[in-house]
Copies of this chain bind each other. A is one copy, B any other.
Amino acid sequence: MKISEAESIVMEVLWRQHPLAAEEVVAALAEAQQWQEATIKTLLNRLLKKGAIVAEKEGRRYLYTPVLRREDWVLEESQGLLERLFGGRVAPLVAHFSQHRKLSRKDVAELRKLLEELDP
């Protein structure tokens, strides 16, 4: 399931909370994005057509619910990047971030803990 950048922004709203009417999605994105209402309607429709979300009638409007799970999408995306940029290996990716000082103290702590709990 391939969704575009703009579409993913709409999905994030629905992942956080669903089902939502178009109006509510528009409201949720009002500050963050400077999109016209029509734009968001289009994106919802494309997501429908792709099968990433479903719509159920509720009175006069529709309520949208994600079908594509965020977890799955994140896996696809991050796996793709890992493959393309780091030969599919996680360690080089982390090393990369480390070299560019993108590892916060909190990250380091969490990573240490994660590794401890792993494969004891």
Contact = CB atoms under 8 A, between A and B. Distances in A.
Contacts of A68: none
Interface in A61-120: 74-75, 77-79, 81-82, 84-85, 89-91, 93-98, 100, 102-108, 110-112, 114-115, 118-119
Contact of A118 (B93, B108, B110, B118): B108
B107 A90 contact: yes
16 contacts: A74-B85, A77-B81, A78-B85, A78-B93, A82-B97, A90-B94, A90-B107, A91-B110, A91-B114, A93-B93, A95-B110, A108-B115, A108-B118, A108-B119, A111-B111, A111-B115
Given A82-B102, A108-B115, A108-B118, 11 more contacts: A78-B81, A78-B85, A78-B96, A89-B104, A90-B97, A90-B104, A91-B110, A94-B111, A94-B114, A108-B119, A111-B111
Interface of A: 8, 74-75, 77-79, 81-82, 84-85, 89-91, 93-98, 100, 102-108, 110-112, 114-115, 118-119
